[in-house]
Amino acid sequence: MYDVISAILWLVLAANPGDSPAPQQQQQNGQNQTIAAETTPAELQENPILSSDYAVARQALDKAIVERDEVTLRLGLKKSSAAFAKEIVQAVKNAYYQSFVPDLTTMLEELRAGDEKGLTAEKREVEKAVVSALMHLTGLRFSVTENLSADEVRKTAEQSREWYAANEAEIQKSLKDEMLDRQQTTPILSNNYKVAKAAFDKAVAEKDKRTLRLGLQKNSLNLKLLIVQAIKQFDDKSFVPDLIKALEDNQSIMSGGSEIKAAQQELNKEIISDLKQLTGLQFPYLTDESTVPCFSDCPPKDIQKVLKDSREWWSLNKKDFENTAVR
């Protein structure tokens, strides 16, 4: 009798699978609210940014940002879950991709489409991120930046579209110049900071030491600082001669006033910090029992001592590390 009843119950449940979804499925449906259209199986296979595996999607996002793959980024904005769409919005904002202003404006409007009862908490976070990105990319200042009413959404969208219409020609020209610049053989040496920064990001991700060494030859103090910070993470002693050269080059007088001088001083500190880590030298003449060199200006005579001590260290140890350098 028990087997008969069990079989009948099984048949009823099988005939009505939609009535009692599994708890795991319910939870997944709640967490992955999409912004717009559903994703087809073919799109999932061809576009890893749409993957339900966060690590796969995030890797695709990082790659798209570095390569400025606007097709992939736009697809992600339209079809990702609300939570991941927010990450794409933030990445576009941080990369300062002004050409995405129309996409973000449309996204802001579509978030409200069909939501008569108001946005969910998750979508409100996306809306807040979109408004923040629009402010950053356009320079506009909106009176309300979160919990917008329908009228405030309309006004924000109108202002953003008007701004883009007035600046579209310049943005497209800049985008074209950037794309041409990307075709250069050594993009990390580009005069276009965004191109050089993208090459730096790619070099770090691929552990491309040769490209990072090339980057230290640039005049951009901001990029040099990023490279020096990345070298510390590599913890590769073959970079010691490159850091010595960078520290020596940084002692030249550059035009630009107090801001440039401060940037040079910051670069001095980072290079010396790297040299301390990689060589084990302490340079005790720089500070009073501090692990952070030069709280104020590093005196030129002390910089010269650092250079001298570091060169001597490299001369004694280079045989052990020269083979690890990829030039």
Residue type (1 letter), 261:
K
Q: What is the token pair recorded at 143? A: 């009176």
What tens-digit pLDDT sequence spans the chain (327 residues)? 444 444 444 443 444 444 433 333 333 333 345 554 555 655 555 688 988 888 888 888 988 887 788 889 999 998 888 889 999 999 999 989 999 999 999 999 998 876 656 778 899 999 999 999 999 999 999 988 888 888 999 999 999 999 999 999 999 998 888 777 765 667 888 888 888 899 899 999 998 998 999 899 877 899 999 999 999 988 899 999 999 999 988 888 777 778 888 889 899 999 999 999 999 998 888 764 444 555 456 778 888 999 999 999 998 888 877 655 544
Counts of helices then strands in the chain (DSSP H, E):
15, 0
How far apart CA 3 and CA 148 sit, in angstroms, is: 58
8 A C-beta contact, residue 263 and residue 230:
no
8 A C-beta contact, residue 257 and residue 286:
no
Domain ranges of the chain: 32-182, 187-324
The pLDDT value given to residue 182:
65
The pLDDT value given to residue 260:
86
The pLDDT value given to residue 102:
96
The pLDDT value given to residue 11:
40
The pLDDT value given to residue 22:
39
8 A C-beta contact, residue 267 and residue 294:
no
- pTM more than 0.85: no
8 A C-beta contact, residue 203 and residue 215:
yes
The pLDDT value given to residue 191:
80
